[in-house]
Amino acid sequence: MESWAGHELPRLPGAGRPLALYDSARRGVHPTRPPGAATLYVCGITPYDATHLGHAATMIAFDLVQRMWRDAGLPVTYVQNVTDIDDPLLERAQRDHEDWVVLAMRETALFREDMEALRIIPPTHYVGAVESIPDIADKVLLLLKDGAAYRLEDGTGDVYFDVAAAPRWGAESNLDRAQMLELFAERGGDPDRAGKRDRLDPLLWRGARPDEPSWPGGELGPGRPGWHIECATIALNLLGATIDVQGGGNDLIFPHHECSAAHAERLTGALPFARHYAHAGMIGLDGEKMSKSRGNLVFVSRLRADRVDPMAIRLGLLAGHYRDDRAWTDEVLATAQGRLTRWRSAAAAPAGPSAGELLAGVRERLADDLDTPAVLALVDAWAAAAVAGEGTDADAPALMAATVDALLGVRL
Ligand code: 5CA
Ligand code: ZN
C-alpha cells in the first residue's frame, strides 16, 4: 500500500558510527553489523484507532536506527506492515456499526499523516495484511505440507502451527512455559481451544465463518490469516531469510515475535530469523500502558489539532530511553516545548562553540543503544553556551541544526 512522503536528510561531515542495540534474544547490547546494506522490519499498527503516543514512540525509536545506519553510509531497506484484518479491527467495526474496510482505511490514512508530521522516514515497503493474503496462504500451505502445521478436526478449517516444530522455540523471548501461557492468553492467543496439540500453538489460518470476511485460500480453503504468519511472510518475501532488526514495542516480545520467528525459521531453516530483536518500552498515562483496549490514549492527531509542534512531541518522546516503559505527562510536553524553543534560539545564534565535538558526541551516544537522554543533555549544554554568546564559530549553529535534524529527526 501507499507509504507517506519523506524528506531530505542533511549530510553530516565525517563518518557515522556503527550502531549497537539491545537484543531481547541474547539479552544484551550487541553491534548491528549489516553486511553492506541493512534490513529492518517494524511491526506497524492495527488500524482501528488513531495513532497514539505509544505508537509514535516506537516508530521514532526505529527511525533513529535507520538514521544511524544511513549516517554510517548503509543503504537501508525498511518494511513495515499494517494489520488491516484481525479480530480487534472487526470487533471495533462491529461495535461502531462501521464497515471494517472504511475504518482501516481511515485510521491508516491518519497514521500516515501523523508519521509525516513527526518526520519519520517512510518505509521502503508499507504492506497491508489483506494485500498479502495469497502469499500468506502459500506459507501456511508450506508449513502444512512440511508437517509443522495441522488442521483442527472440528470442521472449522482452522490451521495451527505446531510449536514442537519450531527450531528454537523460546530463544527470542527467553520465557518459561508458565510465563508464555500467561502472555499468550492476554495477547490474542487461545490456550484453551479444544483440539490443539499444544496450548501455545498459534493460529495460522482461520477458516471462513459466515459473519466474517474471508478470502479464497486455494488448497487451504477460504479463510483469513493469523497474526504472526502475516509478519513472518511479509518480512521473508521482502527482506529475505535473515533480517538485521525485527522491531516493535515490548508488548510484542511474546507471543508475536517468538511465533513469527518460529514460522520463519521453520520455513527457511535460517537461524536466527532476526539478528536483533529490538523492543521499545511502553508509553503509559496515569500509571498504565497506553492502549486501545484501556482507552487511556493521547492521540498524535489531537495534539496536532491543538497546535502542538510535532517536533516538541518528538523531543518529549526522545527525553526518555527508548527501552524504558515511561509515562507521558503534561510536564514531559512542557519540558520538550521549552527545549525546542532554546534549541531554536541557539540554531539562530550568529555563532557558537565549535559543533564538531557535539556531532561526535551525539553519534557516540546514539551508537550505544540509542542513548537519547544523554544526547539531549549534550545538545542542551551546547545550546546554552551558544545562547550565552560563548564561542565564535559562525558555522557551528548550522552544523548543530543539521546534526539534530539528521540524527534525531528534529527540524529546528
Ligand atoms: N499490528 C500489530 C503488530 S504486527 C500491533 O501490535 N499493532 S498496534 O497498533 O497494537 O501497535 C503498533 C506498534 O506500536 C507495535 O509495534 C506495538 O508494539 C507498538 N505499541 C503499541 N502500544 C504501545 C505503547 N503504549 N507504547 C509503545 N509502543 C506501543
Ligand atoms: Zn507484527
Note the pLDDT tens digit of each residue in 169-210.
Answer: 999 999 999 999 999 999 999 999 999 999 999 999 999 999
Q: What is the DSSP letter of 406?
A: I
pTM above 0.85, yes or no: yes
Does residue 93 carry a pLDDT above 90?
yes
| Of residues 346, 148, 377, the one with CA closest to residue 263 | 148
Radius of gyration (Cα) for the chain, nearest Å?
Answer: 22
Say whether 393 sits in a helix, a strand or coil: strand
Nearest to 201 by CA among 146, 150, 143: 150
pLDDT at 155: 95
Report whether residue 247 contacts ligand 1, using a CB cutoff of 6 Å: no
The helix or strand, by DSSP H or E, that contains position 253, with its residue range, turns out to be: none
Among 306, 324, 322, which Cα is nearest to 314's?
Answer: 322
C-alpha cell at 194: 479444544
pLDDT at position 297: 85
What proportion of the chain, given as a percentage, has pLDDT over 70? Answer: 98
Amino acid at 282: M
pLDDT at 290: 67
The amino acid at residue 208 is A
Which atom of ligand 1 is closest in space to residue 231's alpha carbon?
Answer: 4
Please list all protein residues whose beta carbon sits less than 5 angstroms from ligand 2, which is an ion: 43, 231
C-beta 280 within 6 A of ligand 1: yes
Q: How many alpha carbons lie under 13 Å from residue 268 in its C-beta half-sphere?
A: 21
Whether the CB of 225 sits within 6 Å of ligand 1: no
**Above pLDDT 90, what percent of the chain?**
95
Per-residue pLDDT band for 33 (boundaries 50, 70, 90) equals confident
> Whole-angstrom Cα distance, residue 124 to residue 46?
19
Residue 330 CA to ligand 1 center (angstroms) comes to 22
Q: How far is the CA of 248 from the centre of ligand 1 (A)?
A: 7
Using pLDDT thresholds of 50, 70 and 90, give the confidence band for residue 19: very high
Beta carbons of 72 and 16 less than 8 angstroms apart:
yes
pLDDT band with cut points at 50, 70 and 90 for residue 380: very high
Q: What is the mean pLDDT of residues 148-157?
A: 97
Mean pLDDT of 122-144: 98
Q: What's the number of CA atoms in the CB half-sphere (13 Å) around residue 297?
A: 16
Q: What is the pLDDT of residue 292?
A: 65
For ligand 1, say whether the CB of 45 is within 6 Å of any of its atoms: yes
pLDDT at 40 over 70: yes
Residue 87 Cα to ligand 2 middle (Å): 14
Helix axes 356-367, 396-403, angle to 10 degrees: 10
Atom 17 in ligand 1: residue holding the nearest Cα: 249
Taking 80 as the threshold, does the pLDDT of residue 258 lie above it?
A: yes
Tell me the C-alpha distance between 374 and 29, whole Å: 17
Distance separating alpha carbons of residues 250 and 262, to the nearest angstrom? 18
With a 6 A CB cut-off, is 128 part of the ligand 1 pocket? no
Query: What pLDDT is stored for residue 287 in this prediction?
Result: 72
CB-ligand 1 contact for 250 (6 Å cutoff)? no
State the pLDDT confidence band at 296, using cuts at 50, 70 and 90. confident
119 lines ligand 1 (CB under 6 A): no
Phi and psi, residue 331, nearest 5°? -70, -40
147 neighbors 155 (Cβ within 8 angstroms): no
